[in-house]
Amino acid sequence: MTDDNLLDPRRTIVFAGDSVTDCGRRTDPAGLGDGYVKNLYDALPGPRIVNAGISGDRAVDLVARWKTDVLAHTPDLVSILVGINDTWRRYDKDDPTSAESFEASYRELLDPLREVRLVLVEPFLVPVDDEQHGWREDLDPKLEVVRRLAIEYGALLVPADAEFNALASEVGPETLADDGVHPTAAGHRLLADLWQRTVFS
């Protein structure tokens, strides 16, 4: 889908999510951080770009700050990348989020945006050890939620998990995310390229 109107300087694109989106944006004078959002800012002349990522957030945390951090910007497009912490907290804090609860929170994010262009980015994991391979049991049902919701809400889906894992099998997972979750510079470039191709092709 090509939408040149999104490049109009009067347009606003909000990127919402967790640490993968945050990338230090709260200490960056430009508010962009140094990850895929900054890469897209450099690649997309024109639109106002807002980074609304906060490290550690789960879907329910996004719901709690949705009005002030996303809706208040009157966005023309909202891109959401959330879910890996909904899985991770099960394993490091014994604080699981069921796929059903994840879906309920995600719907609360999407329902106020029915008149807004939507991009849903798959939460992704490129396992770097045996323990993380076991996380797929928890993450995969949440991935299915995101994929179903993209269809239901007419959103574009960025196939990040599929693409990251396909490339990781060639170059090694640490090349893309040295801890399996947080992208390296190469991982952020891949994510930005995937996003741009999905939205503008």
- Positions marked catalytic: 19, 179, 182
Q: Residue 94, SS3?
A: coil
Distance CA 33, CA 4 (A): 25
Could you give the CA distance from residue 104 to residue 109 in angstroms, rounded to a whole number?
9
- Two tokens at 42? 């450099």
Residue type, 131: E
State the Rg of the chain over Cα: 16
- Tell me how far CA of residue 189 lies from CA of 52, 96, 135, 178, in angstroms: 19, 30, 25, 14
Q: 80 — alpha (psi -120 to 50), left (phi > 0) or beta?
A: beta
Identify whether the C-beta of residue 82 lies closer than 8 Å to the C-beta of residue 139: no
